[in-house]
Amino acid sequence: MKKNCLVIGDLNIDLIFSSLERKPVFGSEILSKEWFLDIGGSGGIFSAVLSKLGINTCIVSKIGSDYLGDFLVKKLKVLKVNTDFVIIDEKRNTGITVNLSYPKDKYQISSLDILISLREGEINIRGIDNLDHVHFSSYFMMSGLHNKYLEVISNIRSQFKSVTFSLDTNDDPNNIWDGGLIDVINSMDILFLNENEALNITGMSNTKNALEKLASYLEVVIIKLGKKGYMAKIPEGYYTEKSLDVNFRDSTGAGDNFDAGFIYGFLSGLSDEISLKIANLCGAKSVEYLGGVGNEKKFIELKESVKELLN
């Protein structure tokens, strides 16, 4: 029987410019050889990838009653993500992020006020009969929930006794790195961060110490290191692995693909060590395609790679 995952987080449009000739300079124009319009937001990308990997996935987020919102719902449905719990706001525009994608990093410009407006009272998951896992994305962006995360978690636990939880904080646009986060981390089973997020949240000067500190709060902590791979603390011990060699095109959503790969393995009953290897495969495969979700060819190749790993 397929496992069921609920995602509570950000869903927006990603407009991606890749193969750029240089970095932007104020007052000048730069050219891009490739552009792509796709599902965006950490929650949106995670949902789409996890669903394609074979987990029943539904998402709670907020979008506008507009062309971009319709685009997101239609594309998510094609990917078999349940959108019944997505809130349609008649007064606000669907969020959008413009990504300037480079091999080593990216520039992002976002208009996401609609996501900030999501409140605990709007999260209505009546109708979900079975739930195995809940993934929260973009903690800092979803500031309207900051005082209510623990209540949301408690309400879900009261309905689904054996449910597990994961969190990817993503970046803090305000560079404050607080908002009651530690209490929420204490309620998680799995924590995903990138290196910059881990250092800022813990106040540590190096990644290993940041990992140690975060591991005092929960059993599974994974710090994504981009091209350097990942560093993780799981019950079995410490694990590191370098990123795989890839033909780079776009880094948008690579971390969310990594998260989805790990949760796929976790919900499939695989060991944390194997789930980490699947996550690394997913993150590496993501950067070979434009957009965080990519296309059908990506998932055919990814499933073949996972099959080889498990054999």
Could you confirm whether domain 4-121+128-310 is CATH 3.90.1150.10? no
Q: In whole angstroms, what is the distance from residue 143 CA to residue 115 CA?
A: 8
Q: Say whether pLDDT at 88 is over 80.
A: yes
Query: Do the beta carbons of residue 145 and residue 180 sit within 8 Å?
Result: no
Query: Do the beta carbons of residue 40 and residue 13 sit within 8 Å?
Result: yes
Q: Mind listing the pLDDT tens digit for each residue in 22-74?
A: 888 899 999 998 899 999 999 999 999 999 999 999 999 999 999 999 999 99
> Which residues, other chains included, contact 149 with Cβ-Cβ below 8 Å and sequence gap of 6+?
136, 139, 180, 183, 184, 187
Q: Say whether pLDDT at 108 is over 90.
A: no
Q: Per the structure block, which two tokens stand in for 45?
A: 């990308």
Q: What is the mean pLDDT of residues 156-178?
A: 94
Give the per-residue pLDDT at 261: 98
Q: Say whether pLDDT at 20 is over 90.
A: no
Q: In whole angstroms, what is the distance from residue 60 CA to residue 50 CA?
A: 15
Average pLDDT, the chain: 94
Q: Mind listing the pLDDT tens digit for each residue in 241-269?
A: 998 888 888 888 999 999 999 999 999 99
Give the per-residue pLDDT at 107: 86
**Domain spans of the chain?**
4-121+128-310
Q: Per the structure block, which two tokens stand in for 22?
A: 């240089």
| Burial status of residue 74 (CB atoms within 10 A of its CB: 0-12, 13-18, 19 or more) | exposed
Strand segments, DSSP code E, in the chain are 4-8, 12-20, 32-40, 56-60, 62-64, 81-82, 87-89, 96-101, 106-111, 133-137, 164-168, 190-194, 220-224, 230-234, 237-241
Q: What is the pTM of this model?
A: 0.95
Give the per-residue pLDDT at 45: 98
Q: Mind listing the pLDDT tens digit for each residue in 279-296?
A: 999 999 999 998 999 999
Q: Say whether pLDDT at 77 is over 80.
A: yes
Q: Give the pLDDT band (50/70/90) at residue 164.
A: very high
